[in-house]
């Protein structure tokens, strides 16, 4: 348990820069998530904190003490690896006990026994302690790997995509187990994932990483509702957010939004209009999540005609890509809606639920949720 | 008319008396022109079934009829089936054209006709530009198209697809799935698709046969399978996140109300619809989908329970209640936040509570949902209020 | 259908008969060697399977001449060579599997290439070198040259084993607080043991049976059993019976070792020790 500070971390592999100028702080007992697509540099950051590979620039401090160039076995960090990395020739019991049998963390056998039993009951591994890792299921291996890391009191608990290799059902269940265990862990945790649901569910704060740089650090609500860039907006949600080019036009002294997709102008919520007005832009990018897209199978007032182009089932929902004259739009429908390919569908857009971005810099301007929050506070 | 009929089909791979059946007492009636998905976990006998239809495996017992004619011993090439496997099984040294033309040439079809048919099918499968290419250099998606084209060129009465999409990446899968659906709409050829991916079956098939350990668990339309699972296996297999399945004991009271007592002692009110189906002190498995549970207030609730895990996933929130070792999870759109230990009141969608026999796993008391499903209503509108499946909203 | 089944059965039977014939064909030299080891000199040149078995050959070999001494020498040389190969080969294999350094593949290939040239090709220069370094006819020199027989094999087999162990496992151990040395002995060695045993055994067999080096690089103080077999060829006659006895006794240690570690051998050569 420690406060962890990362300052201006940079790591280069040959000519490519894997991580550039990363800084963040982990509060004591915080669950901090590094979230980003594959190859964003998340694992590189994690490894540097663990002491596997030193940074080229920058500093890593545990409780204010610099950890650069200190061997990983002396940092007292615990890590859960993506592929579990259990010791295959040892039983689950011995795996969990292993750290307490090293010189650095040696404990008497009674203590080891007590601790292993405690962790095993916490992770529901009691019946499996005598088995070898090859004799248990993936989910159990994953829990054993967690147990091996949890058994001692590390400065920081590092998890590198611990759920990535589980199937969808097990992953969901394990995510909830982890969440349920958070209180019991009482440890500063750094968690790496590319799954947005894991990031939002588990993280006290989330750092979104893209191409070795941090795009945004914030709580789940902040990164979801007020994404700093269009990239961040695209990373969250089952169905990728629709980013539409909108034109702002003054009609009857109020600012209205025209979507080329539907060729009609929409009224904007007051606060949104004010902020957009102040930004002085004529063109904006509007991010519409699928919940801001309504659909109908019959023509209705204000709806745009389109055809179903693809259907991608995602859990209990289906993501439809609809082709309209103005471009393609994604939305989610229940899995029991089984439209035919090329079937006609009608769409309407709820622009008040949109997130507005600068069309050049792709950076966040305003959204309705922010307004709601502010008005609530007043 | 039923085009393909399987009557009490059995399949054993070895002869021993106690050798296991790969397929056991499988009966299916498949209407002409329909698209049937055979769905199940690996090793459930789905591929074996397909191979028996294709004539690649002998049938141990039972009858296979194609277009009203018994076909058990008709050789594969005379059954009029076209097969596309998971692996492409193309002839790598030949061009795409030669690959597609291969079986026609083997049948000594006149050259002009071969050319005409190959070009027609290539157009349907969008591989015209590739006809002169060698197969070795094609991408996975292109190979699978050629593979399906080759299966189609002999004008099969039945098209058999064995996991045709499972080797492709997400993007390609999406595109090819669309193509397959379109193709079937165009040529209306009886098609059987074997897959382990429930979502693929739900989105493509007119009818789905769910199999487990060689036994047919349910045969029906995707909506029937999803809304009216016949047993615990189907209920658990279909749907993501999966259906909550709770072991319960029934308690009927004198005044006509009934409760299910769960393993941890908490009680849940039994919907009226199911009351006539239960016996006092009977033990059942109750199933409910995460989307069919809603938060309610103190006045009218079915279940009072304690939040164990609360997750905010942006569009929706999940609340998980721990019952012994397992979670019972619900999905909600409400903005309200909860923390561990909060007491909540839950209302179940009474139409969508499923009851299964604890021993056999069979469904007890078909739902009231059936009647509604018959009307082809498709309410549009906001996703949040959503469609005829009601609670399955975003 | 009945006919088809009968046909299948006939085919299976024919296959089995062929296999039996081949086995006899393959094992025959070995059988013949054992037979003539028990034959007297008078019956040596007939090809009858019925004869009066005698232990005279055994008595001759074990009591007269230097065979027992050669046997011990052979044990020392082969055992020593295998020990050196293991001590050098395991760290070398680890380094080749884990570390990145310049010309890594070149080094690995060079090691393998030791096995390319037939021994007879290099024996003259080696002989002169041995003479100059005064290594001729010494245990040190023999062990030194013999360890080249098994080392490339050992390194290449073990390199594959080390590559199969996920590097994360070592890192996990490091984070658990193990020192590098502890990781090597407590975590890695148990995992490569099947491969180590199999490769070491094969090295031993190759060393044990080597003839060229034993013939050219020693002969007065030290003699290997393969060379000592030659002493039974005299100008006037060849004692086939006694040579057969030499060979029969020579294969005994190999057989014993194979039986003892059979379990490891199968697993070791079929891999898959860590995966899964």
Q: What is the CATH number of the domain that holds C246?
A: 1.10.3720.10
Please determine, for residue B375, whether its predicted confidence score (pLDDT) is greater than 60.
Answer: no
Model pLDDT, residue B383: 37
Q: Which of A183, A205, A228 is the last residue of a domain?
A: A228
Please determine, for residue A193, whether its predicted confidence score (pLDDT) is greater than 50.
Answer: yes
Please determine, for residue B376, whether its predicted confidence score (pLDDT) is greater than 80.
Answer: no
Question: From the list A168, A290, A310, which residue is nearest B178 (CB)?
Answer: A310
Nearest chain B residue to A289 by CA: give it: B315
Contact at CB, A78 and C168, closer than 8 angstroms: no
Q: Say which DSSP state B169 is in.
A: -
Model pLDDT, residue B390: 34
Please determine, for residue B388, whether its predicted confidence score (pLDDT) is greater than 70.
Answer: no
Instruction: Answer yes or no: do B268 and B200 share one domain.
Output: no
Instruction: Answer yes or no: do A215 and A249 share one domain.
Output: no
Instruction: Answer yes or no: do B168 and B290 share one domain.
Output: no
B135 contacts B94 by C-beta, under 8 angstroms: yes
Q: Please tell me the distance in Å from B170's CA to the nearest CA on chain A.
A: 9
> For residue A371, what pLDDT band results from cuts at 50, 70 and 90?
low
Average pLDDT for residues A298-321, to the nearest whole number?
82
Instruction: Answer yes or no: do B152 and B290 share one domain.
Output: no
Please determine, for residue B389, whether its predicted confidence score (pLDDT) is greater than 70.
Answer: no
Please determine, for residue A374, whether its predicted confidence score (pLDDT) is greater than 90.
Answer: no
Three-state DSSP state, A109: helix
Pairing of strands A4-13, A283-288: unpaired
A233 in a structural domain: no
C9 C-beta neighbours (distance < 10 Å), count: 10
Residue-wise pLDDT tens digits, A259-291: 877 777 888 888 888 888 888 888 899 999 988
| Chain B environment of A127 (Cβ under 8 Å) | none
Largest separation between any pair of C-alpha atoms in chain A: 81
Number of structural domains in chain C:
2
Which residue out of C175, C179, C186, C195 would a mutagenesis test of the A interface target, given it has the greatest number of A Cβ atoms within 10 Å? C175
Nearest chain B residue to A314 by CA: give it: B199
Q: What is the mean pLDDT of chain A?
A: 86
B328 contacts B369 by C-beta, under 8 angstroms: no
Three-state DSSP state, B229: coil
The backbone torsions φ and ψ at residue B248, rounded to the nearest 5 degrees and listed phi first, read -135, 160
Instruction: Answer yes or no: do C123 and C172 share one domain.
Output: yes
> For residue A190, what pLDDT band results from cuts at 50, 70 and 90?
very high
Q: Please tell me the distance in Å from C170's CA to the nearest CA on chain A.
A: 8
B362 in a structural domain: no
Q: Is B289 on the interface with A (CB under 8 A)?
A: yes
Instruction: Answer yes or no: do C26 and C149 share one domain.
Output: no
Q: Is C168 on the interface with A (CB under 8 A)?
A: yes
Distance, CA of A105 to CA of C178 (rounded, Å): 9
From the centroid of its chain, how far is CA B235? 11
Please determine, for residue A186, whether its predicted confidence score (pLDDT) is greater than 60.
Answer: yes
> For residue C23, what pLDDT band results from cuts at 50, 70 and 90?
very high
Which residue out of C176, C180, C264 would a mutagenesis test of the A interface target, given it has the greatest number of A Cβ atoms within 10 Å? C176
CATH code assigned at B77: 3.40.50.300
E strand or H helix at C7: helix C2-37
Contact at CB, A220 and B174, closer than 8 angstroms: no
Distance, CA of B31 to CA of B3 (rounded, Å): 5
Distance, CA of B219 to CA of B211 (rounded, Å): 9
Instruction: Answer yes or no: do B183 and B274 share one domain.
Output: no
Instruction: Answer yes or no: do C190 and C84 share one domain.
Output: yes
Its domain, for residue B267, covers 242-349
> For residue B85, what pLDDT band results from cuts at 50, 70 and 90?
confident
Instruction: Answer yes or no: do C6 and C107 share one domain.
Output: no
Residues across chain B: 394
Instruction: Answer yes or no: do B257 and B151 share one domain.
Output: no
| Chain A environment of B394 (Cβ under 8 Å) | 290-291, 317, 332
Please determine, for residue C119, whether its predicted confidence score (pLDDT) is greater than 90.
Answer: no
Token pair belonging to B45: 């006998």
| Chain A environment of C190 (Cβ under 8 Å) | 89
Average pLDDT for residues C2-16, to the nearest whole number?
80
Residue-wise pLDDT tens digits, A243-252: 988 888 887 7
Question: From the list B314, B378, B384, which residue is nearest A297 (CB)?
Answer: B378
Please determine, for residue A6, whether its predicted confidence score (pLDDT) is greater than 70.
Answer: yes
Instruction: Answer yes or no: do C21 and C71 share one domain.
Output: no
B360 in a structural domain: no
Catalogue the E-assigned strands of B93-233. 158-162, 190-195, 207-212, 215-220
| Cross-sheet strand order for the sheet of A264-267 | A264-267, A254-259, A242-251, A283-288, A355-358, A364-367
**How far is CA B85 from each of CA B124, B173, C116, rounded to the nearest angstrom?**
19, 15, 45
Please determine, for residue B264, whether its predicted confidence score (pLDDT) is greater than 70.
Answer: yes
Mean pLDDT comparison of A51-60, A169-178, A367-376, highest-scoring range: A51-60
Model pLDDT, residue B377: 35
Peptide bond into B241 cis (omega under 30): yes
| Cross-sheet strand order for the sheet of B309-312 | B309-312, B317-323, B326-332
Instruction: Answer yes or no: do A188 and A244 share one domain.
Output: no
Nearest chain A residue to B382 by CA: give it: A294
Please calculate the CA angle B167-B171-B177 and round it to the nearest 5 degrees. 70
Three-state DSSP state, C119: helix
Its domain, for residue C217, covers 57-270
What residue spans of chain A are helical by DSSP H? 42-50, 92-97, 109-122, 138-150, 168-185, 196-202, 220-225, 230-235, 270-279, 368-377
Q: Say which DSSP state A127 is in.
A: G
Instruction: Answer yes or no: do A179 and A291 share one domain.
Output: no
CATH code assigned at B294: 2.40.50.140
Token pair belonging to C220: 């007065």
Q: Is C182 on the interface with A (CB under 8 A)?
A: yes
Question: From the list B175, B311, B315, which residue is nearest A179 (CB)?
Answer: B311
Q: What is the mean pLDDT of chain B?
A: 83
Residue-wise pLDDT tens digits, B190-221: 999 999 888 888 888 889 999 999 999 999 98
Distance, CA of C155 to CA of C95 (rounded, Å): 10
C275 in a structural domain: no
First-to-final CA distance of chain B: 39
Number of structural domains in chain A:
2
Token pair belonging to C143: 């062990």
Instruction: Answer yes or no: do A15 and A141 share one domain.
Output: yes
CB environment B123-156: b (16+ within 10 A), e (fewer): ebbebeebbeeebeebeebbbbbbbbbbbbbbeb
B237 in a structural domain: no
> For residue B319, what pLDDT band results from cuts at 50, 70 and 90?
very high
Instruction: Answer yes or no: do A255 and A221 share one domain.
Output: no
Q: Which of B196, B227, B258 is the last residue of a domain?
A: B227
Instruction: Answer yes or no: do A250 and A348 share one domain.
Output: yes
Model pLDDT, residue A126: 86
Please determine, for residue A219, whether its predicted confidence score (pLDDT) is greater than 50.
Answer: yes
> For residue B88, what pLDDT band results from cuts at 50, 70 and 90?
low
Least Cα distance to C126 among C109, C139, C144 occurs for C144
Token pair belonging to C227: 């060379």
Least Cα distance to A150 among A168, A162, A136, A167 occurs for A162
Instruction: Answer yes or no: do C157 and C74 share one domain.
Output: yes
> For residue B138, what pLDDT band results from cuts at 50, 70 and 90?
confident
Model pLDDT, residue A130: 92
Instruction: Answer yes or no: do C74 and C23 share one domain.
Output: no
Please determine, for residue C94, whether its predicted confidence score (pLDDT) is greater than 60.
Answer: yes
To the nearest whole percent, how much of chain B has pLDDT over 90? Answer: 23
Instruction: Answer yes or no: do A98 and A187 share one domain.
Output: yes
Q: Which residues contact C150 (CB under 8 A, 6 or more apart)?
A: C81, C82, C85, C89, C199, C200, C202, C203, C204, C206, C207
Instruction: Answer yes or no: do B271 and B319 share one domain.
Output: yes
The backbone torsions φ and ψ at residue B26, rounded to the nearest 5 degrees and listed phi first, read -95, 120
A34 in a structural domain: yes
Instruction: Answer yes or no: do C99 and C234 share one domain.
Output: yes
Please determine, for residue B104, whether its predicted confidence score (pLDDT) is greater than 50.
Answer: yes
Instruction: Answer yes or no: do B123 and B272 share one domain.
Output: no
Q: Is A291 on the interface with C (CB under 8 A)?
A: no
Nearest chain A residue to B394 by CA: give it: A291
Average pLDDT for residues A113-131, to the nearest whole number?
88
Instruction: Answer yes or no: do B293 and B326 share one domain.
Output: yes
Instruction: Answer yes or no: do A271 and A224 share one domain.
Output: no
Q: Say which DSSP state C124 is in.
A: H
CATH code assigned at A150: 3.40.50.300
Three-state DSSP state, C125: helix
Q: Is the Cα torsion angle B276, B277, B282, B284 positive or negative in sign?
A: negative
Instruction: Answer yes or no: do A210 and A287 share one domain.
Output: no
Please determine, for residue B38, whether its predicted confidence score (pLDDT) is greater than 90.
Answer: yes
**How far is CA B29 from each of CA B6, B50, B66, C45, C60, rounded to the nearest angstrom?**
6, 14, 10, 79, 85
Lowest mean pLDDT among A155-164, B273-282, B306-315, C23-32: B273-282
Contact at CB, C276 and A134, closer than 8 angstroms: yes
Please determine, for residue B374, whether its predicted confidence score (pLDDT) is greater than 50.
Answer: no
Model pLDDT, residue B170: 73
**How far is CA B300 from each of CA B345, B348, B381, rounded to the nearest angstrom?**
8, 11, 28
> How many helices and strands, by DSSP H and E, does chain B display?
10, 21
Distance, CA of C42 to CA of C34 (rounded, Å): 17
Instruction: Answer yes or no: do C96 and C130 share one domain.
Output: yes
Least Cα distance to B383 among A267, A328, A350 occurs for A350
Pairing of strands A364-367, A205-210: unpaired
Q: Is A50 exposed, middle or buried (0-12, 13-18, 19+ CB in 10 A)?
A: buried
Three-state DSSP state, C210: coil
Average pLDDT for residues C170-176, to the nearest whole number?
88
Q: Please tell me the distance in Å from A100's CA to the nearest CA on chain C.
A: 8
Per the model's pLDDT, the better-predicted residue between B387 and C182 turns out to be: C182
Instruction: Answer yes or no: do B274 and B215 share one domain.
Output: no
Looking at chain A, which subunits does it touch, using at least 3 CB pairs closer than 8 Å as the criterion?
Answer: B, C
Number of structural domains in chain B:
2
The backbone torsions φ and ψ at residue B299, rounded to the nearest 5 degrees and listed phi first, read -75, -45
Model pLDDT, residue B210: 94
Question: From the list A168, A236, A296, which residue is nearest B381 (CB)?
Answer: A296
A337 contacts B387 by C-beta, under 8 angstroms: yes
Least Cα distance to A118 among A94, A147, A145 occurs for A147
C42 in a structural domain: no
Instruction: Answer yes or no: do A20 and A164 share one domain.
Output: yes
C48 in a structural domain: no
C94 in a structural domain: yes
Per the model's pLDDT, the better-predicted residue between B290 and B253 turns out to be: B290
Count CA within 13 A, CB hemisphere, residue C105.
0
Instruction: Answer yes or no: do B222 and B257 share one domain.
Output: no
Model pLDDT, residue C3: 59
Residue-wise pLDDT tens digits, C200-214: 998 999 999 998 898
B321 contacts B306 by C-beta, under 8 angstroms: yes
Nearest chain B residue to A238 by CA: give it: B315
Q: What is the dihedral of CA B119, B124, B130, B133, to 10 degrees?
A: -60
Model pLDDT, residue B323: 87
Model pLDDT, residue C87: 94
Catalogue the E-assigned strands of chain C. none
Q: Is C164 on the interface with A (CB under 8 A)?
A: no
Q: Please tell me the distance in Å from B20's CA to the nearest CA on chain A.
A: 24
Model pLDDT, residue A360: 87
Residue-wise pLDDT tens digits, A71-110: 888 888 999 988 888 998 899 999 999 988 888 788 899 9
CATH code assigned at A310: 2.40.50.140
Q: Which of A187, A203, A228 is the last residue of a domain?
A: A228
Please determine, for residue B379, whether its predicted confidence score (pLDDT) is greater than 50.
Answer: no
Please determine, for residue B6, whether its predicted confidence score (pLDDT) is greater than 80.
Answer: yes
Q: Please tell me the distance in Å from C199's CA to the nearest CA on chain A.
A: 20
The backbone torsions φ and ψ at residue A66, rounded to the nearest 5 degrees and listed phi first, read -65, 135
B390 in a structural domain: no
Contact at CB, B178 and A341, closer than 8 angstroms: yes
Least Cα distance to B370 among B272, B271, B224, B237 occurs for B224
Distance, CA of A200 to CA of B196 (rounded, Å): 29
Contact at CB, A102 and C276, closer than 8 angstroms: no
Distance, CA of C276 to CA of C266 (rounded, Å): 18
Instruction: Answer yes or no: do B96 and B210 share one domain.
Output: yes
Q: Say which DSSP state B354 is in.
A: E
Q: Is B336 on the interface with A (CB under 8 A)?
A: no
Instruction: Answer yes or no: do C17 and C134 share one domain.
Output: no
Please determine, for residue B310, whether its predicted confidence score (pLDDT) is greater than 50.
Answer: yes
To the nearest whole percent, how much of chain A has pLDDT over 70? Answer: 96
Lowest mean pLDDT among A27-41, A313-327, B293-307, B365-379: B365-379
Q: Is B384 on the interface with A (CB under 8 A)?
A: yes
Q: Is C261 on the interface with A (CB under 8 A)?
A: no
| Chain C environment of A87 (Cβ under 8 Å) | 169, 172-173, 187
Model pLDDT, residue C18: 96
Token pair belonging to A262: 């539907």
What residue spans of B41-110 are helical by DSSP H? 46-54, 96-106
B374 in a structural domain: no
To the nearest whole percent, how much of chain C has pLDDT over 90? Answer: 32
Q: Please tell me the distance in Å from A58's CA to the nearest CA on chain B.
A: 34
Its domain, for residue A65, covers 4-228
Distance, CA of B347 to CA of B342 (rounded, Å): 16
Q: Which residues contact A369 (CB under 8 A, 6 or more apart)?
A: A225, A226
Please determine, for residue A141, whether its predicted confidence score (pLDDT) is greater than 80.
Answer: yes
Instruction: Answer yes or no: do B291 and B157 share one domain.
Output: no
Average pLDDT for residues C73-95, to the nearest whole number?
94
Question: From the list A296, A310, A316, which residue is nearest B174 (CB)?
Answer: A310
Please determine, for residue C93, whether its predicted confidence score (pLDDT) is greater than 80.
Answer: yes
Question: From the list C171, C190, C276, which residue is nearest A52 (CB)?
Answer: C171
Please determine, for residue A11, whether its predicted confidence score (pLDDT) is greater than 70.
Answer: yes
Please determine, for residue C4, whether its predicted confidence score (pLDDT) is greater than 70.
Answer: no
Please determine, for residue B130, whether its predicted confidence score (pLDDT) is greater than 50.
Answer: yes
C89 in a structural domain: yes
């Amino acid at each position: 348990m420690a406060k962890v500070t990362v300052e201006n971390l940079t790591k280069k592999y040959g000519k490519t820069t894997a991580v550039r100028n990363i800084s963040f702080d982990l509060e004591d007992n915080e669950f901090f998530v590094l979230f980003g697509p594959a190859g964003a540099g998340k694992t590189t950051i994690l490894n540097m904190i663990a002491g596997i590979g030193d940074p080229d620039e920058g500093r890593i401090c545990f409780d204010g003490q610099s950890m650069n160039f200190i061997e990983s076995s002396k940092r007292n960090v615990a890590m859960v690896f993506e592929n579990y990395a259990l010791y295959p020739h040892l039983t689950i019991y011995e795996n969990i006990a292993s750290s307490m049998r090293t010189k650095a963390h040696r404990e008497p056998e009674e203590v080891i026994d007590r601790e292993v039993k405690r962790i095993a009951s916490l992770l529901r591994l009691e019946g499996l302690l005598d088995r070898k890792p090859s004799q248990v299921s993936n989910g159990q291996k994953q829990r054993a790997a967690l147990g091996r890391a949890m058994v001692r009191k590390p400065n920081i608990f590092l998890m590198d995509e611990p759920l990535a290799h589980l199937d969808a059902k097990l992953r969901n269940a394990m995510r909830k187990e982890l969440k349920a265990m958070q209180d019991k862990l009482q440890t500063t945790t750094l968690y790496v994932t590319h799954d947005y649901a894991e990031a939002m569910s588990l993280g006290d704060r989330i750092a979104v990483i893209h191409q070795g740089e941090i795009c945004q650090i914030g709580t789940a609500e902040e990164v979801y509702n007020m994404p700093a860039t269009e990239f961040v907006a695209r990373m969250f949600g089952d169905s990728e957010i629709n980013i539409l080019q909108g034109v702002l036009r003054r009609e009857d002294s109020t600012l209205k939004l025209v979507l080329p997709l539907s060729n009609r102008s929409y009224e904007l919520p007051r606060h949104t209009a004010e902020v957009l007005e102040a930004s002085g832009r004529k063109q904006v990018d509007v991010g519409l999540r699928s919940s801001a897209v309504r659909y109908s199978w019959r023509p209705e007032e204000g709806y745009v005609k389109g055809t179903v182009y693809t259907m991608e089932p995602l859990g209990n929902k289906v993501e439809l890509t609809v082709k309209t004259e103005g471009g393609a739009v994604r939305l989610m429908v229940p899995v029991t809606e089984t439209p035919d390919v090329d079937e006609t569908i009608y769409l309407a857009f709820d622009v008040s639920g949109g997130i507005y971005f600068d069309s050049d810099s792709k950076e966040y301007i305003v959204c309705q949720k922010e307004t709601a929050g502010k008005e609530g506070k007043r | 008319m039923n085009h393909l009929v399987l009557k009490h089909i059995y399949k054993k791979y070895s002869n021993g008396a106690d050798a296991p059946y790969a397929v056991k007492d499988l009966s299916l009636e498949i209407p002409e022109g329909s698209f049937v998905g055979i769905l199940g976990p690996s090793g459930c006998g789905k591929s074996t079934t397909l191979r028996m239809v294709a004539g690649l495996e002998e049938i141990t017992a039972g009858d296979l009829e194609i277009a009203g004619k018994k076909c058990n011993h008709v050789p594969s090439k005379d059954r009029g089936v076209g097969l596309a496997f998971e692996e492409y099984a193309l002839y790598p040294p030949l061009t795409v054209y030669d690959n597609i033309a291969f079986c026609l040439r083997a049948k000594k079809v006149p050259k002009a006709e071969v050319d005409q048919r190959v070009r027609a099918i290539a157009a349907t499968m969008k591989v015209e530009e590739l006809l002169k290419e060698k197969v070795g250099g094609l991408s996975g998606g292109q190979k699978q198209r050629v593979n399906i084209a080759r299966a189609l060129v002999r004008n099969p009465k039945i098209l058999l697809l064995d996991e045709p999409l499972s080797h492709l990446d997400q993007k390609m899968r999406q595109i090819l799935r669309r193509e397959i659906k379109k193709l079937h709409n165009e040529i209306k050829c009886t098609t059987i698709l074997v897959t382990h991916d429930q979502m693929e079956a739900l989105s493509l098939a007119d009818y789905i046969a769910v199999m487990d350990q060689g036994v047919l668990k349910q045969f029906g339309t995707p909506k029937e399978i999803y809304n009216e699972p016949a047993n615990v296996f189907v209920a658990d297999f279909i749907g993501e996140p999966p259906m909550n399945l709770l072991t319960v004991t029934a308690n009927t009271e004198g005044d006509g109300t009934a409760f299910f007592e769960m393993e941890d002692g908490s009680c849940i009110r039994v919907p009226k619809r199911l009351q006539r189906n239960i016996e006092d002190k009977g033990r059942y498995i109750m199933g409910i989908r995460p989307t069919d549970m809603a938060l309610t207030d103190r006045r009218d609730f079915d279940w009072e329970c304690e939040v164990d895990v609360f997750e905010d996933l942006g569009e929706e929130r999940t609340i998980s209640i721990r019952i012994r070792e397992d979670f019972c999870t619900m999905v909600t759109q409400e903005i309200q936040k909860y923390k561990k230990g909060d007491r909540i009141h839950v209302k179940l969608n009474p139409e969508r509570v499923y009851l299964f026999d604890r021993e056999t796993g069979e469904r007890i008391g078909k739902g009231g949902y059936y009647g509604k499903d018959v009307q082809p209503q498709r309410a549009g509108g906001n996703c949040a209020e959503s469609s005829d499946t009601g609670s399955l909203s975003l | 259908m009945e006919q088809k089944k009968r046909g299948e059965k006939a085919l299976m039977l024919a296959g089995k008969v062929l296999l039996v014939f081949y086995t006899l064909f393959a094992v025959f030299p070995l059988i013949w060697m054992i037979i003539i080891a028990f034959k007297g000199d008078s019956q040596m040149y007939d090809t009858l399977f019925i004869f009066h078995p005698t232990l005279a050959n055994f008595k001759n070999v074990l009591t007269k001449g230097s065979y027992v001494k050669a046997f011990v020498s052979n044990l020392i040389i082969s055992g020593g060579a295998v020990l050196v190969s293991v001590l050098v080969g395991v760290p070398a294999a680890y380094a080749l599997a884990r570390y990145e350094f310049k010309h890594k593949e070149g080094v690995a290939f060079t090691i393998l290439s030791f096995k390319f040239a037939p021994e007879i090709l290099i024996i003259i220069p080696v002989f002169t070198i041995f003479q100059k370094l005064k290594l001729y006819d010494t245990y040190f020199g023999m062990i030194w040259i013999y360890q080249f027989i098994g080392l490339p094999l050992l390194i290449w087999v073990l390199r594959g084993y080390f590559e199969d162990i996920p590097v994360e496992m070592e890192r996990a151990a490091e984070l658990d607080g193990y020192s590098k040395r502890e990781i090597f002995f407590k975590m890695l060695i148990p995992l490569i043991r099947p491969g180590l045993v199999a490769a070491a055994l094969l090295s031993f067999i190759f060393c044990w049976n080597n003839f060229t080096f034993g013939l050219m690089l020693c002969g007065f103080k030290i003699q290997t059993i393969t060379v000592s077999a030659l002493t039974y060829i005299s100008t006037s006659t060849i004692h086939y019976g006694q040579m057969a006895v030499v060979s029969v006794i020579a294969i005994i240690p190999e057989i014993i070792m194979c039986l003892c570690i059979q379990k490891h051998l199968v697993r070791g050569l079929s891999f898959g020790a860590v995966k899964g």
